[in-house]
């Protein structure tokens, strides 16, 4: 099993003059430390206009800085929003980062969330899946072709040679955001790595891992000409401390992350400049949802976390991505947590990686057949509730149609 660290760049109010400066500088120091400790990946999100929840609107700039502070750790876009970026610029920025880092980029691609992010770019929420798929088809050939033109529904451009070309050939490994758990099955069809969240149980993890690999092998539907990236990764809340009690006391960042998602699900995004999520979070703390959030993460002593990881290791999850920078978690607590985990937990799972890769090779060679397990009963991740559920593209379109029908009826008095 491999391990990554995950950055939303959360910054709850109140802010000071240098809050964002300190956030970015501390994050770079943490990634440098993770590189020295032997972590495998550092993942950075892209979000826009989500005050407090994510101040990470230019991940390529941040990862470019990280590339010069690190030597080995792989630098992941987790993810680039293909819907809010022009295809040529995606290819140019990814290739440049790959050159700067000496070929350490992982290219995760996503659709963005809702209207707060998409509408300022003139993008309709209901179109985001089709737009994302078309963007993949437009972008991937840019990494290898010296002349490439594209004519689609959303993107149309004449022949150009998009430069520079990436250091990795043909290009960095491709991943897709799987905030909706059903997308894991599509990721298998597309031949992309799946970037999901913690499964509700090891049994759920095994069912989805099996579905992913079975789709990759038996139901391929590549969106363009690219090599498969057979990997299933899950993001998990994380805090490692000498005792479970100490870890839970320091894990307010993860519970704030869950609270913020629930808040958006209930109320939407606040008007610009008016949000105070951290204050609202104080009223939410101490209830059953916070307890569930703590239980859903990798939060505890080395022994507690080790026991949880062994279950997901047995389910053949490839990578666990540790969400440590969240809420108001201090720089010191983040670094101490990374150090303790690297010293007491990580070596066991790194040592087992050759066996896992041998298993994967046999699966891909069809020497091991994976049982096709029922995933219908595992339709959400462990951190999700009725307020934190991503709709499928079909559900989203139906919801938008109902909303428009209601608006028309109100306008006509029907």
**How far is residue 118 from each of residues 98, 124, 195, 333, 368, measured CA to CA in Å?**
27, 7, 21, 34, 43
* Position 394 in a domain: no
The dihedral of CA 176, 178, 180, 185: what is its sign? positive
* Position 230 in a domain: yes
Write down the H helix ranges in 271-352: 277-284, 288-296, 302-314, 331-344, 346-351
Q: Which residues contact 360 (CB under 8 A, 6 or more apart)?
A: 230, 316, 318
Per the structure, the count of domains in the chain is 1
Two structure tokens written together for 399: 């919801």
On whether the CB atoms of residues 82 and 47 are closer than 8 A, the answer is: no
The predicted structure's pLDDT at residue 391: 62
DSSP string, 180-249: STTHHHHHHHHT-EEEEE--SSHHHHHHHHHHHHHHHHHS---SSS------EEEEEEEEE-SSHHHHHH
* Position 274 in a domain: yes
On whether the CB atoms of residues 39 and 338 are closer than 8 A, the answer is: yes
* Position 154 in a domain: yes
The predicted structure's pLDDT at residue 385: 65
Two structure tokens written together for 221: 């539907």
* Position 357 in a domain: yes
Compute the distance between CA of residue 277 and CA of residue 258 in angstroms, rounded to an integer.
11
Digitized pLDDT (tens) for each residue of the chain, 414 residues in all: 999 999 999 999 999 999 999 999 999 999 999 999 999 999 999 999 999 999 999 999 999 999 999 999 999 999 999 999 999 999 999 999 999 999 999 999 999 988 999 999 999 999 999 999 999 999 999 999 999 999 999 999 999 999 999 999 999 999 999 999 999 999 999 999 999 999 989 999 999 999 999 999 999 999 999 999 999 999 999 999 999 999 999 999 999 999 998 888 888 899 999 999 999 999 999 888 888 888 889 999 999 999 999 999 999 999 999 999 999 999 999 999 999 999 999 999 999 999 999 999 999 999 999 999 999 999 988 777 666 556 666 766 777 777 777 777 777 776
The domain spanning residue 97 has which CATH number? 3.20.20.30
Q: Do strands 156-160 and 148-151 pair parallel, antiparallel, or not at all (unpaired)?
A: antiparallel
* Position 383 in a domain: yes
* Position 403 in a domain: no
* Position 27 in a domain: yes
pTM of the predicted protein model:
0.93
On whether the CB atoms of residues 252 and 290 are closer than 8 A, the answer is: no
The dihedral of CA 63, 67, 73, 74: what is its sign? positive
Q: Which residues pair with 299 in a beta bridge?
A: 239
On whether the CB atoms of residues 184 and 178 are closer than 8 A, the answer is: yes
The predicted structure's pLDDT at residue 292: 86
Domain containing residue 312? 2-389
Q: Which residues contact 266 (CB under 8 A, 6 or more apart)?
A: 387
């Amino acid at each position: 099993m491999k391990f990554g660290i995950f950055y939303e760049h959360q910054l709850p109010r109140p802010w000071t003059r240098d809050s964002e400066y300190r956030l970015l500088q501390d994050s770079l120091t943490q990634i440098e430390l993770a590189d020295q400790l032997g972590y495998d990946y550092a993942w950075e999100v892209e979000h826009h206009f989500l005050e407090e929840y994510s101040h990470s609107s230019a991940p390529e700039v941040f990862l470019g800085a990280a590339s010069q502070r690190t030597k080995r750790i792989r630098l992941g876009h987790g993810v680039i929003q293909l819907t809010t970026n022009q295809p040529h610029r995606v290819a140019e920025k990814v290739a440049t980062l790959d050159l700067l880092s000496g070929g350490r980029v992982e290219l995760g691609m996503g659709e963005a969330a809702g209207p707060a992010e998409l509408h300022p770019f003139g993008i309709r929420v209901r179109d985001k899946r089709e737009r994302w798929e078309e963007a993949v088809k437009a972008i991937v050939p840019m990494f290898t072709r010296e002349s490439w033109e594209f004519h689609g529904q959303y993107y149309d451009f004449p022949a150009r040679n998009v430069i520079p070309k990436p250091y990795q050939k043909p290009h960095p490994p491709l991943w897709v955001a799987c905030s909706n758990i059903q997308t894991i099955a599509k990721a298998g069809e597309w031949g992309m790595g799946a970037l999901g969240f913690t499964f509700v149980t090891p049994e759920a993890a095994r069912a989805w891992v099996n579905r992913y690999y079975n789709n990759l092998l038996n139901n391929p539907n590549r969106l363009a000409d690219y090599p498969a990236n057979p990997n299933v990764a899950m993001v998990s809340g994380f805090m490692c401390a000498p005792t479970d009690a100490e870890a839970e006391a320091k894990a307010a960042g993860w519970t704030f992350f869950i609270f913020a998602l629930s808040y958006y699900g209930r109320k939407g995004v606040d008007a610009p400049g008016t949000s105070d999520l951290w204050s609202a979070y104080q009223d939410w703390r101490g209830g059953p949802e916070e307890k569930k959030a703590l239980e859903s993460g990798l939060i505890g002593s080395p022994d507690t976390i080790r026991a949880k990881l062994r279950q997901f290791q047995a389910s053949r999850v490839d990578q666990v991505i540790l969400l440590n920078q969240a809420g108001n978690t201090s720089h010191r607590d983040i670094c101490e947590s990374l150090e303790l985990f690297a010293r007491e937990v990580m070596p066991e799972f790194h040592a087992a990686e050759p066996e896992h890769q041998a298993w994967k090779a046999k699966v891909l060679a069809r020497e091991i057949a994976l049982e096709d397990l029922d995933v219908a009963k595992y339709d959400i991740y462990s951190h999700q509730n009725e307020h934190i559920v991503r709709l499928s593209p079909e559900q989203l379109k139906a919801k938008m149609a109902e909303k428009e029908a209601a608006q028309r009826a109100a306008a006509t008095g029907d």
